[in-house]
DNA sequence: TATGAATGAGGGTTCATTCAT
DNA sequence: GATGAATGAACCCTCATTCAT
């Protein structure tokens, strides 16, 4: 009846390894973050890292996978609370941008490290990104839109604008939430007077 | 009166050096393109390059400068032919995107190589980018817009979306011109039916 | 009377381990075949291998031992059927060469991996080789030879030529049997006309 | 008339680099001799070596080339003094073996490092070896031999036996010259009494 | 018998850069 | 303007091996 308490899962350093990799890839980018940096951050020797990952690219892919998982979850959770299509899209964009700009090393890596900069992992990274973007394809598919609006371009424009914000955002000014909402507003209203 | 015409331009290889640097930075990115690669492409030895540039960052900055110059010229020339503010903006976006996606190694470097990826040159690169973006600030300032529209966000959204297209564009489908126009259209019309 | 039959051989993987080690040492050589390679080939982890062998050198020595055992057996069996000394030598050479070139990973390792390439095992490997070569010392001792012929050099020449054939033999042309016979023939006849 | 003495060829360290590489490859074999070893022996940093050679394999090939050159020269010079075909062959074998066993790091590498142990350089090494062996093909072609003697096998046997002597030779006993002569003698006489 | 996780050393190689000539 | 030769640091990675479990 009394069961012996099983030893808690071995004090695995793999999660910390991923955390530090995410942090460094986000901070310095893929090329500038060395395997040594990552290993040192988790208190390992560089070679030890290769017990967990066969190559630096594989480490990146693992971070990407986790990044996509986390940001997907964030978007799914955020949109679940809404039923109105525009509200749902807005919630998704806000979640996306908050992960991207502030909260989440993993998610930031997904946007910051561009597939074309890592040829050996390019296709895998692209697949992961594409899978994620499908969430937005769906959110946009649900929008009631005027005839003739190309939903694909709507997605590309919206996500492009959001993702690019990593290049100009500085903590302290507008919040991610504000940014996302303003971008959406620009799409919702007509900028041409004659309408 | 007739002075002996001195050959005004030595056959120096600096232009080719910049051309090849632009090509390689565009193709591989900053980190993956080595000084060796660039030197080899011009038929120089790596050390010789340092006669022209004090560091790899300086070489990048020189390419950036030329890139900004060329893409600025392209935008200025394109907009010069138009007087209607929206037409002017459209012409600017098309010129921007064509340089970015197809025509111009220098211009592509300006978008492809992100300042944060090159800490030692970051501020210089950012200054150059900002100077260029001012062209769009002006184009957008001239637009007749409904009250309450934040022109700064309009610029950030539009340029963000355009710049990000480097990440998904593939030659053969839509042309840069089409893409630019569709993005603008999305901004011009109201996506919300009720408006 | 009937004792409980103990399963005499556990399903232990040591034989397969040796087999794969032999295969890999033969295929890649000692240095290029890593403990990882061997372990992976048996479906073990590298560390697990150290339950069976204290070091990579010990593993090599074990393969060598088995190699010498097998090639010795082959030679003994082949010569057993012959009584004429020259026939016996020929049978031994053919058996030696067939093991060496075609049939036997273990035997091939004995010739392919040179003692001087593995300093830590050098003396042990040399002892094993020497023990094996004694078979040929005996076969040659039994030959009726003209006076003045140095039997030691005969052995060195014959075995050297045979062993070196690993460096030029390609499956498909002459068979090991043919090669061995031709070498012997060259020794048996006089190449100098005047005799 | 009095010309200004040109600066003696730059005190190039490449020759020393090759010398030390030859020495170490001969001493330890290809795999066990590291780039770091070679560099240290010549007083360079490991990376500096790559100014001269693009890879470790290329360094080996360069040593091989020099080895083949030197041993070829030795054989050519040695045989030049003789006119009798058997004497010429003998002189060639003696020169070959002296280079192989005692005198010449470069030549020893050619025999000690086996092409199959260096897959990336295999074909190049084999070509070099083959070119060298053609000297012996020619020497053997010139021999007056009984009908039916296969000269190719004669070459393979002779060179195999000579080359393999690296595996058993120890300074102090018989000299290379003696060894070469004894091997040849074994071929020249008939070992079969009845012939 | 093995695994999981790591060590410590060292592998070959590439990098941006320097500087005498 | 450029070369030839090298530096020093760092690169990613692989090695044989260890040891608690």
Q: Which of A27, A28, A153 to mutate to test the interface with B (most CBs of B within 10 A)?
A: A153
* C181 → chain D, closest CA residue: D153
Q: How far is the CA of B53 from the C1' of E17 (A)?
A: 11
Of the candidates B168, B188, B193, the beta carbon closest to that of A156 is on B168
* B182 → chain A, closest CA residue: A153
Residue C29: the pLDDT is 96
How confident is the model over C125-145, as pLDDT tens digits?
999 999 999 999 999 999 999
Residues, chain C: 195
Contacts of C144 in chain D (CB under 8 A): 193
Residues, chain A: 195
Residue D190: the pLDDT is 84
Contacts of B168 in chain A (CB under 8 A): 156
Q: Is A143 exposed, middle or buried (0-12, 13-18, 19+ CB in 10 A)?
A: middle
pLDDT over 50 at B7, yes or no: no
User: Is there a contact between D176 and D94 (Cβ–Cβ < 8 Å)?
Assistant: yes
Residue A11: the pLDDT is 65
- Furthest C-alpha separation in chain D: 77
Of the candidates A116, A119, A195, the beta carbon closest to that of B190 is on A195
Q: Provide the mean pLDDT of chain B.
A: 91
A191 contacts B187? CB cut-off 8 A: yes
* B189 → chain A, closest CA residue: A190
Residues, chain D: 195
Alpha-helical segments (H) within chain C:
14-28, 35-42, 49-52, 56-80, 85-98, 105-112, 122-141, 151-164, 176-188
C192 contacts D86? CB cut-off 8 A: yes
How confident is the model over B57-80, as pLDDT tens digits?
999 999 999 999 999 999 999 999
Phi, psi of A176 (to 5 degrees): -50, -40
Q: How far is the CA of B49 from the C1' of F3 (A)?
A: 11
Second CATH level (architecture) for the domain B57-188: Orthogonal Bundle (1.10)
Nucleotide with minimal C1' distance from the CA of B43 is F2
Following CA atoms C92, C97, C100, C104 in sequence, which dihedral angle do they give, to the nearest 10 degrees?
-70
Chain E nucleotides reached by a protein CB under 7 Å:
1-21
The fold of A56-188 is Tetracycline Repressor; domain 2 (1.10.357)
Q: Is C165 exposed, middle or buried (0-12, 13-18, 19+ CB in 10 A)?
A: buried
Least confident piece of the model among B85-94, C75-84, C173-182, D9-18 = D9-18
CA distances from B107 to A160, B37, B98, C44 (A): 19, 20, 10, 54
Q: Which of A101, A143, A112 has the alpha carbon at shortest distance from A25?
A: A112
The neighbour count for residue A47, using CB atoms within 10 Å, is 9
Q: Which of C153, C71, C140 has the alpha carbon at shortest distance from C104?
A: C71
pLDDT over 50 at D1, yes or no: no
What global pTM score does this model have? 0.91
> How sure is the predictor about B6, in pLDDT bands with cuts at 50, 70 and 90?
very low
3-class SS letters over chain B: CCCCCCCCCCCCCHHHHHHHHHHHHHHHCCCCCCHHHHHHHHCCCHHHHHHHCCCHHHHHHHHHHHHHHHHHHHHHHHHHCCCCHHHHHHHHHHHHHHHHHHHCHHHHHHHHCCHHHCHHHHHHHHHHHHHHHHHHHHHHHCCCCCCCCCHHHHHHHHHHHHHHHHHCCCCCCCCHHHHHHHHHHHHHCCCCCCC
Closest CA-bearing residue to C1' of F6: D48
Question: Is D touching C (3+ C-beta pairs, cut-off 8 A)?
Answer: yes
Buried b (16+ CB within 10 A) or exposed e, A90-113: bbbbbbbbbbbbebbbbbbbbbbb
Count of A–B CB contacts within 8 Å? 119
Buried b (16+ CB within 10 A) or exposed e, D5-27: eeeeeeeebeeebbbbbbbbbbe
Q: Is B182 exposed, middle or buried (0-12, 13-18, 19+ CB in 10 A)?
A: middle
Nucleotide with minimal C1' distance from the CA of C50 is F17
- What is the least distance, in Å, from the CA of C36 to any CA of chain D? 17
The neighbour count for residue A148, using CB atoms within 10 Å, is 7
The fold of C60-188 is Tetracycline Repressor; domain 2 (1.10.357)
Of the candidates A31, A182, A186, the beta carbon closest to that of B31 is on A31
B158 contacts A161? CB cut-off 8 A: yes
Residue C16: the pLDDT is 92
Q: How far is the CA of A52 from the C1' of E7 (A)?
A: 14
Closest CA-bearing residue to C1' of F8: D45
pLDDT above 90 as % of chain C: 85
Of the candidates C116, C146, C165, the beta carbon closest to that of D160 is on C165
3-class DSSP assignment, residue C149? coil
Contacts of D187 in chain C (CB under 8 A): 186-187, 191
Q: How far apart are CA C54 and CA C67, in angstroms?
A: 19
The neighbour count for residue A77, using CB atoms within 10 Å, is 11
Q: Which of A66, A90, A86 has the alpha carbon at shortest distance from A78?
A: A90
Q: How far apart are CA C33 and CA B186, in angstroms?
A: 61
Any idea where the domains of chain B sit in the sequence?
57-188
């Amino acid at each position: 009846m009394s069961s012996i308490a099983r030893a808690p899962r071995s004090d695995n350093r793999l999660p910390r390894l991923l955390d530090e990799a995410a942090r460094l890839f986000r901070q310095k980018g893929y090329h500038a973050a060395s395997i040594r940096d990552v290993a040192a951050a988790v208190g390992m020797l560089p070679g030890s890292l290769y017990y967990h990952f066969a190559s630096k690219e594989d480490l990146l892919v693992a971070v990407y996978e986790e990044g996509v998982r986390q940001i997907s979850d964030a978007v799914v959770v955020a949109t679940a609370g809404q039923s109105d299509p525009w509200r749902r899209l807005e919630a998704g964009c806000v979640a996306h941008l908050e992960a991207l700009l502030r909260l989440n090393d993993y998610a930031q890596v997904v946007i910051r490290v561009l597939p074309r900069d890592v040829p050996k992992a390019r296709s895998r990274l692209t697949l992961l990104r594409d899978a994620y973007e499908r969430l937005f394809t769906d959110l946009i598919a649900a929008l009631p839109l005027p005839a003739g609006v190309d939903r694909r371009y709507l997605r590309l424009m919206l996500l492009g604008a959001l993702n690019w914000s990593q290049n100009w955002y500085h903590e302290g000014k507008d919040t991610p939430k504000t940014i996302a909402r303003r971008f959406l507003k620009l799409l919702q209203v007509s900028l041409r007077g004659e309408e």
